[in-house]
Structure 1
Amino acid sequence: MLKKILRRVALTLIVLFGVTIIAFVLVRLSPGDPAVQMLPATATEEQILNMRERMGLNEPYIIQYFMYLGNLLKGDLGFSFHFNMDCGALILARLINTAKITIIGVLIALIISIPLGMIAGIKRGTAVDTAATAFALCGQAMSPVWLCLLMILIFSVGLKWLPTQGVGTWKHMVMPSLCVGFSFCSLVTRMLRSSMIDVLQEEYITATRARGISKFVVYVKYAFKNAILPIVTISGAQLGLLLAGSMVIEQIFNWPGLGQLTVTAISSRDFQLVQSILVVVAIIMVLCNLLVDILYTFIDKRVSFN
């Protein structure tokens, strides 16, 4: 098992190496001069040249890339000229904020969606199944922008229970967390319902029930264990995307997370910060995928960790 994990880690490092190349090239292909963007409109040619020197833009692209890669290997994500601080410290602070609402939102979503999806799959064709299916379809079809504005209208403007923007207390995290978790909750409910329906039609479920084992044990111990496999896959991918930053939600609620930081970095042409964010997002995604692969082998012994 350890050798297989190490092999997968090695493949992950190759992927990350490719990501550094793509991030470097994409930022350089974007229009405009980052040095000019960092200076006021009245900046002189000498000031622009000095800024280009500070940002390392005067070197050939190949030299710039290897300097960038060397700094990454030392744990240095670069310097943000827009925020005037290290990219690593800036990204870490924003990532923690994003992780707060993401983890809370995902936990709420799982607490709701797993029982709801199981019951809907078991009680196929009943009123509970119809309600769960309608909830899942609405959640998947609903725009995050519309949901955020609706929650602000109800809980902030109407009931005056929650603040609309900013950070500070637990109340500031409620609406962003619910918005982050809502679409995820709908997705898990729909997928788990479908998985439960498929698994309950398997012959081993019929044989297990024929042995006199209680329905509760059959549903929880045998059916759910196999029905959860697709959920693990989609959860890993979705968790990585959510941790990478929900840009729309963070912008609407003025939540200082990684998504909002990404928008600011792009609009201000802070190319060092953009590169660093892309690399961090890639690391999050590949780690989530690696974790899913490892979990698969523990949940289903039939799956080999190649």
Structure 2
Amino acid sequence: MLKKILRRLALTLIVLVGVTIIAFALVRLAPGDPAVQMLPATATQEQIDNMRTRMGLDQSYVVQYFMYIGNLLKGDLGYSFHFNMDCGPLILSRLVNTAKITVIGVIIALIISIPLGLVAGIKRGSALDTCATAFALCGQAMSPVWLCLLMILIFSVGLKWLPTQGVGSWKNMVMPSLCVGFAFCSLVTRMLRSSMIDVLQEEYITATRARGVSKFQVYVKYAFKNAILPIVTISGAQLGILLCGSMVIEQIFNWPGLGQLTVTAISSRDFQLVQSILLIVAVIMVVCNLIVDILYTFIDKRISFN
């Protein structure tokens, strides 16, 4: 197992090198001069040239790339000229804020979706199944922008229970967390329902029932264990996406997370910060996928890790 994990990590390094090349190229192919955007409109050509030198833009692309890689190997993610601070602490602080609402949203989503999807799959065709299916369809069809505005209208404007923007107390995290977890909750509910329906039609479930095993054990010990496999896959991918930053939600609620930081970095052409964010996003996605692969081997012994 350890050798296989180390082999996967080696392949991960190759992926991350590719990510650095793509991020480096995309940022520099974008129109406009970052040095000009960093300075006021009244800046002279001498000031622009000095800023280009500070940012390392006066060097060739090859030299710039290897300087970037050299700094990464030292643990230096670069310097944000827009925020006037190192990229590492800046990204870490925003990532922590994003992780707060993401973890809360995912926990709430799993608490609701797993029992709902499990019961809907068992009671196929019942009123509860119809309600669960309608909930899942509405959740996936609903726009995040519309959901955020609806929650603000109900809980902030109407009931005046929760603040609309900013940070400070736990109340500021309620609506962003619910918006982050709502679509995820709908997705897990729909997939778990479909997976349970398929698993309950398998021959080994029929054989298990014929042996006199109780319904609770059939559903929870045998059926649910196999039905959860697609949920593990989708949860790992979705968790990585959510941790990388829900840009729309963070912008609407003015939540200082990674998504909002990405929008600011792109709009200000802070190329070093953009490169570092893309690299961190790639690391998160790769780690989440690796964890999912490892979990698969523990959940289903028939699957080998290779």
TM-score by length of 2: 1.00
The answer as to 2:85 corresponding to 1:85 is: yes
Cα shift at 1:73: 1.3
Q: What letter is aligned with 1:252? A: I
Partner of 1:95: 95
Q: What letter is aligned with 1:178? A: L
Partner of 1:43: 43
The answer as to 2:177 corresponding to 1:180 is: no
The answer as to 2:139 corresponding to 1:143 is: no
Unaligned runs of 5+ residues in structure 1 are none
Q: What letter is aligned with 1:237? A: A
Q: Return the alpha-carbon distance in structure 2 between the equivalents of residues 34 and 254 of structure 1.
A: 25
Q: What letter is aligned with 1:266? A: I
Q: What letter is aligned with 2:56? A: G
Q: What letter is aligned with 1:73? A: L
Q: Return the alpha-carbon distance in structure 2 between the equivalents of residues 66 and 236 of structure 1.
A: 33
SS at match of 1:125: coil
Q: What letter is aligned with 1:292? A: V
Partner of 1:272: 272
Partner of 1:67: 67
SS at match of 2:305: coil
Residues 139-165 of structure 1 deviation map (CA, whole Å, 9 limit, x = unaligned): 000000000000000000000000000
Residues 16-56 of structure 1 deviation map (CA, whole Å, 9 limit, x = unaligned): 01000000000000000000000000000100000000000
Q: Return the alpha-carbon distance in structure 2 between the equivalents of residues 63 and 301 of structure 1.
A: 49
- Aligned ranges 1:83-232 → 2 under 5 Å: 83-232=83-232
SS at match of 1:128: helix
Percent sequence identity over matched residues? 88
Q: Return the alpha-carbon distance in structure 1 between the equivalents of residues 265 and 274 of structure 2.
A: 6
Partner of 2:237: 237
Give the aligned length: 306
Cα shift at 1:188: 0.2
Cα shift at 1:74: 1.2
Cα shift at 1:199: 0.2
Q: Return the alpha-carbon distance in structure 2 between the equivalents of residues 74 and 113 of structure 1.
A: 43
Q: What letter is aligned with 2:224? A: F
Q: What letter is aligned with 2:251? A: Q
Residues 213-246 of structure 1 deviation map (CA, whole Å, 9 limit, x = unaligned): 1101110010000000000000000000000000
Q: Return the alpha-carbon distance in structure 2 between the equivalents of residues 108 and 74 of structure 1.
A: 39
Q: What letter is aligned with 2:127? A: A
Partner of 1:56: 56
The answer as to 2:245 corresponding to 1:249 is: no
Q: What letter is aligned with 2:33? A: D
SS at match of 1:66: helix
Partner of 2:19: 19
Q: Return the alpha-carbon distance in structure 2 between the equivalents of residues 228 and 222 of structure 1.
A: 11
Q: What letter is aligned with 1:129? A: D
Unaligned runs of 5+ residues in structure 2 are none
Superposition misfits of 4+ residues, deviation over 4 angstroms: none
